[in-house]
């Protein structure tokens, strides 16, 4: 008898799932707003890579941007939208369900003691 999978991986929100996008959403969830340079430094990514992911998040409605000038230099400020906050927390809930399921599986007696998710047995 096989157990149900802990989550449906096919239904994961791919707009949130990537490490750069997840980093952007997480950073914006903890700050009111961040500009492009601050996000780039915080995530240690190249301009082009960050720009692509910011565009995807904005197209998805998860972040908004405001273009402005600081002195004579252009500056784009990003904020998390209510939809972005909801998507992030739904994603985190799904990951927590996975963690809880794996934790519960480790507490059950192993069917196969050689399985890599089982902790190594201590010497007698």
Angstrom distances, CA of residue 117 to CA of 3, 51, 84, 100: 15, 38, 33, 14
Q: Are 124 and 42 in contact (CB under 8 A)?
A: no
Please write the tens of the pLDDT for every residue from 37-51.
999 999 999 999 999
The pLDDT-based confidence of 1 (bands split at 50, 70, 90) is very low
Nearest in space to 88 (alpha carbons), one of 18, 5, 41? 18
pLDDT tens for each residue of 58-81: 999 999 999 999 899 999 999 999
pTM value > 0.85: no
The pLDDT of residue 94 is: 86
Q: Which domains does the chain have, with CATH numbers?
A: 16-102 (1.10.10.10)
């Amino acid at each position: 008898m096989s157990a149900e999978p802990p989550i449906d991986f096919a239904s994961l929100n791919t707009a949130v799932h990537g490490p750069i996008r997840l980093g952007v959403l997480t950073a914006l969830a903890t700050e009111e707003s961040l500009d492009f340079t601050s996000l780039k430094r915080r995530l240690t990514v190249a301009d082009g890579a960050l720009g692509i992911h910011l565009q995807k998040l904005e197209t998805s409605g998860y972040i908004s941007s405001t273009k402005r000038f600081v002195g004579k230099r252009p500056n784009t400020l990003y904020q998390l939208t209510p939809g972005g906050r909801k998507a992030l927390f739904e994603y985190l809930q799904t990951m927590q369900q996975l963690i809880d399921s794996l934790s519960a599986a480790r507490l059950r007696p192993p069917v196969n003691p050689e399985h890599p998710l089982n902790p190594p047995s201590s010497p007698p």
